[in-house]
Structure formats: C-alpha cells, structure tokens
Structure 1
C-alpha cells in the first residue's frame, strides 16, 4: 500500500483503541475504580507517549534531518500546540476551563481538550510511515494504540463520575479517538507529496506530544496523594514502550 493508505489505516486503528479502553465503563463491575487509578492510567499513557516521542520520533528525525532540523521541528510543534491551547476553548477535569470563554456545553469543551491530545498522535502515526519501512509506522501506531486504551478508559470513567450515563460516557470516549485519522491523513499526505518533510513532520509531532505530556497530562495526574503513584505509572509506561520499540523496530 502507499504511504497515505498506511497512514490512514495505522492512525484509524490507533484511534479506535480509545473506544476499546472505554468499554469497561459499560459494565458496573468493571468501571468502579478510584480517582487514583484513573490518574495512574493517564500517567501510564504519558510514559508510553514520552518513550514513543524519544525513540520513535526524535531519534529518527535526527537521523534523517540532523539535530538542527529536529530541534526546529520540536519548537514548531510546541508553538503550534501552544497556540491551539490558547485560542481553542476547552476544559479539563482538574485544571478547569482554558482558552477563551465559550457558550459550548461542558462536554464539548472536554472533547476539544482530548482532541488537542489526539491530533498530534495521529500526525505522528501518519508521518512515521513515510520512512518507507512499514515496521517504523507499525511501532508508532502500536505505541499510540497502547496509550489510547488507558486514556480512553480514564476519559470514560471521568465522564461517568460527573453524571453522564454509561452509554454516553463510552460514546464520547470513542468519539475523541476519531480525530487521530485526520492527523494521520495530514502527516502521511505531506510526506507523500514532500519527502523532505519527513524529519520535520516527525519532530513537529514530537514537539506537540511533549507539550501535551508536560502541559496537560502530568498536571492532570500529579496532584495530591496520587502524584507518586502516577509517577511510577509513567515510568512503567516509558519502560514498556522502550522495550516494545526495540522489539518491534
């Protein structure tokens, strides 16, 4: 298949993993988890993202484009997410409302917040298939899919905790993963048209993911008595993804 189709397939499967993670919320016996466990799930997801950023995106970006291209791409990715974070209204369960005031319902502000997480992940998957080595793209898609499962579960449980019915909590968690194919199409399409964009795209996706990890996920999970548990969960996610990256790559 072409790079574009691999990017679409990989990012779609990774995005669907978010819905897979939300399935337990449909069953009372599986969804009765603590706030601490939700933070641990998100911490684990952050660790997986961090390892994928380092080993699957930044190292290849340096190999293909050099350290200055990689650094420039990271800066662009950070600035892109910073602008989106500042000018798109969105809401987090712990940090509350960010961006300009909006008349949108709270649930849609929350969906926008998760969308800001997932778009750079889809971009990372799409760009990673541009190396011409399918295993590179499969590694990144696997990483994003793995971290989307606990993220989807955490999102669904959080929605359930603020009063949403089980079916709607699952649906909204599933919905947040559907933005990843859009990022995948963009990343794979740009690499297909302009091959020189490959290291830039990898570094931009890496910078965007670093911004999400540092500005969004860690503050959401590292608070109160949950902080130390979330830290160990992050380290566990990082270690597991480091092993998978070497085994799959």
Structure 2
C-alpha cells in the first residue's frame, strides 16, 4: 500500500498534470491550490498532529520538532532545495516575458533536483503515516497528491517554456515523481527499526503541510485574486478541503 500510495502521490500526479489542457489550466490551478490548502491545513492540524501527540512521546519534544520543522522548510526553500510553482506564462499573472525560462535555469536541472528531494521526503512521510494507521496513510496521500498536481502543472509548463519537448518534460517529471516510491520504501525500513521516531516524523509531516499551505499556497491565492469576488470561491474550495478531512477524521478515527 505504501508503494501504491507513493505512486499516486508522485508519478500519477505528473501524468494528471501533463494531461490537463492549457486552455483550462489557469482556472484549474487556482481551484486546486485553494482545495489543497484546505486539505493540507486540516490534515496536519486535525489528524497528523493529534496522532503524534497521542503516541506517548514527550509533548515538549514534539512541539520543538514542529517549530524546527517549519523553520527548516523555510531555509530549504530559501536555498532553493524545495521549489513550488503554480503558474505559467499566459495565465494572467504579472510575470515578464521569458519568466519561466529564467525560473527553469540551465536545462531545468534545479527544478528536477528540488522536486526529487521533495518527492523523496513526501514518500517518507507517507510511509510514516501508513505505519501509524492505514486511514491516516491514505488521508496523508490525498493531501500530498492534491498539492502535487498544481505544483507539477507549474513545473511542467516551466520546463516546456525552457525548451523541453512535451515527451522529455513528462519523462523527467515522472522520474522525479518516482523518488516518492524510493522515499516510501526507505522510510518503511528505517522506521520499522526505529518505531520511536514515528511521532517525530509525523510532526515533521505536519510542519511541511503547514509551511506549504501558509507560506506558499495562501500567498499565491492572495496575489492572484484578479476578480473582486474570487476570494469567495477560494474560501469555499478551501472549506471543501477542510470538510473532506473533518468528515474522514470523524468517520475513520480509530481512538
């Protein structure tokens, strides 16, 4: 199940992103970003953090892990180890011509390296969630996949604008997505030998979700509210994400 879930959260999201029509891309990305923000926040706060805190691990140590995790993700993004991209040229965002070509850099290598590291980490987080509870594993996979699709859309378009053919962009993105499977398998074997680490990995997962939602997705939604009433749609979709997690948490929680 860990392999299946990491394939869904990694490689499958690449195919989903590549299959989308450019004519509906801009609107769909905004909708997915709103939905995934709600899913990530609700999954981390309503499910992942409670599971970690109910494990019996030291609460102060878990709280410090959460704080350090958020700060670490800030540093990783500043160092461009982690990258998030939800735009493309022609989407109405205020980018100058050739912006995506500049963002991709030489051959788009940095995007692919950053995505691979990010996907590997996602795989470890998915493995940790499954080792605590199968339902938590699938809920975590859902939250990650919802975020990965708009991110992969942005990266796919950036690579196309950097000169990659559709076939090459798809191939390299799929290979990057498979890093999630490697992370999932590696995470399973490491955590199986060190079960005491599970609550701390879960808290790091929550830190990742919270950071991505508040530092990346929500500001993106603020910047790109071009129409006066668009915030209502964004808010509604965010609440749909929260409602999905709340419903699943209420119905499936085992404690």
Q: TM class, shorter-chain normalised?
A: 0.7 to 0.9
Cα distance in 2 for residues equivalent to 1:151 and 1:91: 6
Query: Are the structure 2 counterparts of residues 56 and 103 from structure 1 closer, same or farther at C-alpha, using a change threshold of 3 Å?
Result: closer
Correspondence for 1:177: 177
Q: Residue 10 of structure 2 contacts residue 181 of structure 2 at CA under 8 Å; is this kept in 1? A: yes
Distance (whole Å) between structure 2 residues aligned to residue 171 and residue 117 of structure 1: 17
Within 2, Cα distance between the matches of 1:95 and 1:71? 39
Q: Is 1:201 equivalent to 2:201 in the alignment? A: yes
Contact 1:41/1:151 (<8 A) preserved: no
Give, in angstroms, the shift of residue 159 of structure 1.
Answer: 5.4
User: What aligned pairs does 1:12-31 form with structure 2 within 5 A after superposition?
Assistant: 12-25=7-20, 30-31=21-22
Gaps of 5+ in 2: 88-92, 96-101
Does residue 1:243 correspond to 2:247, yes or no?
yes
Extract unaligned runs of 5+ from structure 1: 1-5
Q: Tell whether the 8 Å contact from 1:58 to 1:70 is kept in structure 2 after alignment.
A: no
Q: Find out whether 1:213 has 2:213 as its counterpart.
A: yes
State the secondary structure of the residue aligned to 1:31: coil
**Aligned pair count?**
235
Aligned residue in 2 for 1:43: 34
Residue 211 and residue 95 in structure 1: after superposition, are their counterparts in 2 closer, same or farther (change >3 A)? farther
- Give the alignment's TM-score, normalised by structure 1: 0.74
Q: Which moved more, 1:206-215 or 1:56-65?
A: 206-215
User: 1:58 corresponds to which residue?
Assistant: 49
- Alpha-carbon distance in structure 2 between the residues aligned to 1:45 and 1:78: 18
Q: Which whole-Å deviations, capped at 9, do the CAs of 1:192-228 have from their partners, x for residues lacking one?
A: 1111111111001211222222222222333142561
Task: Output aligned runs, 1:108-123, within 5 Å.
Answer: 108-115=109-116, 117-123=118-124
| Partner of residue 69, structure 2 | 77
* Alpha-carbon contact 1:126-1:137 (below 8 Å) kept: yes
Specify which structure has the higher proportion of helix: 1
- Over the aligned positions, Cα root-mean-square deviation in angstroms equals 3.5
Q: Report what 1:3 is aligned to.
A: none
The answer (yes or no) to whether the contact 1:45–1:147 under 8 Å persists in 2 is yes
Q: Aligned to 2:74, what secondary structure does the other structure show?
A: helix
With normalisation by structure 2, the TM-score equals 0.73
Residue 10 of structure 1, CA deviation: 2.8
Is the CA contact (8 Å cut-off) linking 1:18 and 1:145 kept in structure 2?
Answer: yes
| Superposition deviation, residue 235 in structure 1 | 2.5
Say whether the 8 Å CA contact 2:156–2:169 is kept in structure 1. Answer: yes
Change over 3 Å in CA distance of 1:138–1:72 after alignment to 2: same
Shift of 1:74: 1.0
Matched position secondary structure for 1:222: helix
